[in-house]
Amino acid sequence: MRWTIARRITLGYAAVLLLLAVVGVVATYALSSIGAGFQEVIRREQFLDDAMEARGDADRAVVSFLRYLVTGEDEFLQEREQRVLEARAGITRLEQLSPDVEDKKAWGEIRELLDGWDAAAKAAIAARRGRRDAEVRRITMERVLPVRDRMQPMIRELILRERARTRDVAAAAVKLADRTQWAVLGIG
């Protein structure tokens, strides 16, 4: 078989089309993978926002409780109740949405600690209403504050762990984009 000019041109066009098809397939795969990676980053960022909000609600509940103990004003009780409800709802949602079994368990433990803190705070509030100051101090020091001191570092640790995972997912997506760029340039 003779290689005529027409056959050579046809073969050249076929080779170019094949390379374009390969570049298209690689680019499509890369874009879908990168898109999925960044969607995961967005989902994890929302999870982090929810965790930070739940942490803030729990902290604000503690502040409202302490304000009530100092002032005795009922507005702080209402604020405390609202914040506890919001913190509990947020923590329950985080427990349900957490993709990791270990994290689910930790959020469940935090929810139980919040419930224990709430019960102890209510006991201190009842003592405050009864003007039993020594009992208020005892309950606060022995039951309320120790539970808070256990709960806060646990939430902080879960947030830090999720931030690290989010950074890892983002870094993997960026690395894939970089590798794909070089692959496309190498093929093209």
Q: Where are the domains of the chain?
A: 5-187
**pLDDT score of 101:** 94
Predicted structure pTM score: 0.80
**pLDDT score of 187:** 64
Closest CA to 155 of 110, 117, 108: 110
d(CA 83, CA 115): 13
Across the chain, which has 188 residues, the per-10-residue mean pLDDT values are 84 88 82 86 93 96 96 95 97 94 96 97 96 95 95 96 93 84 70
**pLDDT score of 53:** 97
Query: CATH: 2.130.10.10, 3.30.70.260, 1.20.120.1730, 3.90.79.10. Which one for 5-187?
Result: 1.20.120.1730
**pLDDT score of 159:** 95
d(CA 76, CA 70): 10
Residues with Cβ within 8 Å of residue 117, at least 6 apart in sequence: 62, 144, 147, 148, 151
**pLDDT score of 174:** 86
CA 163 to chain CA mean position, Å = 7
